[in-house]
Amino acid sequence: MTLPVYRDPNTIKEPATSSVFHHDLLTPPFATTSSAGHYLTLQNGRKIYDSTGGAAVACLGHGNERVKKAMIEQIDSAAYVHSLVYAVPATEELAKELILGTEGKMSHAYLVCSGSEATEAALKLARQYFLELPTPQPARVHYISRHQSYHGITLGALGVSGHASRRGPFEPMFAQNSSRVSPCYAYRDMKDGETTEQYVVRLAKELDDEFVRVGPEKVCAFIAEPIVGATLGCVPAVEGYFKAMQEICHKYGALLILDEVMSGMGRSGTLHAWQQEGVVPDIQMIGKGLGGGYAPIAGLLINPRVVDVLRNGSGTFIHGHTYQAHPVSCAAALEVQRIVREQSLVSNVARMGKYLSNLLKSKLGDHPYVGDIRGKGLFWGLEFVENKTTKEPFDPKLGVSMRVFQKGMDTGMSFYPGNGTADGVKGDHVLIAPMYDVTEEDCDFIVGKVLGVIEAVFEEID
């Protein structure tokens, strides 16, 4: 089969033809013929070092033999069963494995096919929780989320997201039951002379004020990403932020929903990002690194206090998908998670994360156009600015992050670009999210490449 060829905007003038209805109908994706380890091979023969594992997905790298074997064995035993009626051991074992990873803080896992579906399920579960409390609280229908956030592409999930360009045309279709507060974005939003503690107090007051404005009895949940991924480019919260946010949720009896679709399952240097924040969410979304890209799988991890309410209430979560807890996806994710545990890969993420962070800061910290280097574990973002002192971003028309992406692809490395497409975002960033088994040599190679690409891009622009 001949795959559609990537349309290089510099050399190909006519729209490419492809029968796949893709996000971008003028520039189809790079035709890829194979993937192995940390590399992808394009149809034109170019090898690409996958420094982001897609969108922080392929945590184990490509072509893992153990995962492949587990998937084939599952297909041979039971390729599909309807999970509302039947169960296969892989699903049960995966749920147990996931609960084990929370040190018993969560008691159940709910498995779906995508992060967006997980968000939809979380929103509905929170609502059902309040309806089934011994003294029901039916007024709770409102969700408070944050600007510049992303929780998924479906109407409910996008409805609570702060991603302006993805929301745009659909704005009139969103339910009017959500509102947004500021994210914790120290690089741009902390005031001169403000301490971390003062910043947290300011953000806590903003959330408290929003509960009061909406009417605390109407708020179901506060929903946030522990490390903001796609919209801001790997922005972790400052110390104490999530504790303060959870206190406000407790004060008003609302749930805390943490979206770890991108930052979770080891990416942050602990299995769950909340394990570094001193909080335990009521509901947590997981995704990308769960199945490492071997099969579509995402899910919820649910706090026993939520599960108990439903168990003692209707006994049923009013939700379900044909492909939820798909046996082959569960078998793939189970093997991925076993490998992550057996090979102590989360410790490697923490160790290599420190190495990568030091390297990025030492090689790029003084770069005149690199405004901020932030992240955790193996989840790092570089924000580009035209003026380091004023933090003035580049003119969006220059497409700096897309140029970095393009230059990377031209020279054999993929980055995950982002620019002012989320509401209020001021500039360009790229994200680096290497595989969990990277070595110091891999990190040296990645950072060397980043340096070269950035230099080449800024030479073009200057």
Residues 227, 268 contacting (CB under 8 angstroms): yes
* DSSP letter string, 265-317: TTTTSSSSGGGGTT---SEEEE-GGGTTTSS--EEEEE-HHHHHHHHHTTS--
Phi and psi for 165 in degrees, rounded to 5?
-70, -30
For ligand PLP, the binding residue among 109, 121, 257, 262 (CB under 6 A) is: 262
| Nearest distance, CB of residue 56 and ligand PLP, angstroms | 8
What's the min distance (Å) between Cβ of 139 and ligand PLP?
Answer: 27
What is the longest distance spanned by two Cα atoms in the chain?
Answer: 66
CB 301 within 8 A of CB 106: yes
Strand partners, 375: 380
Least gap, CB of 85 to ligand PLP (angstroms): 26
Query: Which one of residues 28, 53, 101, 152 is an interface residue with ligand PLP (CB under 6 A)?
Result: 152
What is the closest distance, in whole angstroms, from the C-beta atom of residue 212 to ligand PLP in the complex? Answer: 27
Among 52, 74, 114, 357, binds ligand PLP (CB under 6 A): 114
Nearest distance from C-beta of residue 117 to ligand PLP, angstroms: 7
| β-pairing verdict for 219-224 and 142-146 | parallel
Contacts for 372 with CB less than 8 Å, ≥ 6 apart: 187, 381, 382, 383, 385
Query: Under rule CB under 6 A, how many of the chain's residues touch ligand PLP?
Result: 17
Q: Binding to ligand PLP (CB under 6 A): which residues in 334-373?
A: none
Token pair, residue 193, equals: 């002379």
Neighbouring residues of 118: CB distance < 8 A, sequence distance ≥ 6: 110, 112, 152, 261, 285, 286, 287, 298, 299, 300
CA dihedral 177, 180, 181, 186 (to 10 degrees): 150
54 binds ligand PLP (CB under 6 A): no
Place of tokens 């492809």: 18
In the set 38, 108, 146, 151, which binds ligand PLP (CB under 6 A)?
A: 151
CA distance 193 to 190: 8
**Residue span binding ligand PLP (CB under 6 A) among the ranges 126-134, 258-266, 306-314, 337-345:** 258-266
CB of 257 to ligand PLP, least distance (A): 11
Q: Which of 123, 126, 244, 261 binds ligand PLP (CB under 6 A)?
A: 261
Q: Is 112 in the site for ligand PLP (CB under 6 A)?
A: no
Task: Give the residue, chosen from 6, 30, 150, 405, that forms a contact with ligand PLP under the rule CB under 6 A.
Answer: 150
Determine how β-strand 39-42 pairs with β-strand 32-36: antiparallel
CA distance 285 to 255: 13
Nearer to ligand PLP, 264 or 408 (CB): 264
The two structure tokens encoding residue 125: 């579960």
- Among candidate residues 259, 251, 242, 249, the one with its CA nearest the CA of residue 220: 249
Q: What distance in Å separates the CA atoms of residue 314 and residue 305, rounded to the nearest whole number? A: 15
Choose the stretch contacting ligand PLP; rule: CB under 6 A; options: 179-187, 257-265, 311-319, 370-378. 257-265
SS3 assignment, position 1: coil
Q: What is the DSSP letter of 416?
A: E
Q: Which of 50, 97, 120, 259 is close enough to bind ligand PLP by CB under 6 A?
A: 259
Q: Which two tokens stand for residue 52?
A: 């982001």
CB closest to ligand PLP, residue no: 115
Residue of 115, 226, 233, 281 interacting with ligand PLP (CB under 6 A): 115
Q: How far is the CB of 90 from ligand PLP (least distance, A)?
A: 20
- Euclidean distance between CA atoms 243 and 224, whole angstroms: 13
Contact window for ligand PLP (CB under 6 A) among 146-154, 244-252, 363-371, 433-441: 146-154
- Nearest distance, CB of residue 275 and ligand PLP, angstroms: 17
Mask for 274-303, x = binds ligand PLP (CB under 6 A): -------------x----------x-----
Q: Which of 64, 102, 116, 270 binds ligand PLP (CB under 6 A)?
A: 116
Contact 414, 49 (CB under 8 A): yes
Shortest distance (Å) from residue 103 CB to ligand PLP:
23
What residues between 173 and 232 interact with ligand PLP by CB under 6 A? 225, 229-230
**Quick one: which segment of 61-69, 111-119, 186-194, 347-355 binds ligand PLP (CB under 6 A)?**
111-119
As beta bridge partners, residue 380 has: 375, 432
Nearer to ligand PLP by C-beta: 290 or 310? 290
260 three-class SS: strand
CB of 150 to ligand PLP, least distance (A): 5
In terms of Cα–Cα distance, which of 150, 70, 91 is closest to 118?
150
Q: Is 55 in the site for ligand PLP (CB under 6 A)?
A: yes
C-beta closer to ligand PLP: residue 409 or 433:
433
Footprint of ligand PLP on this chain (CB under 6 A)?
Answer: 55, 114-116, 119, 150-153, 225, 229-230, 259, 261-262, 287, 298
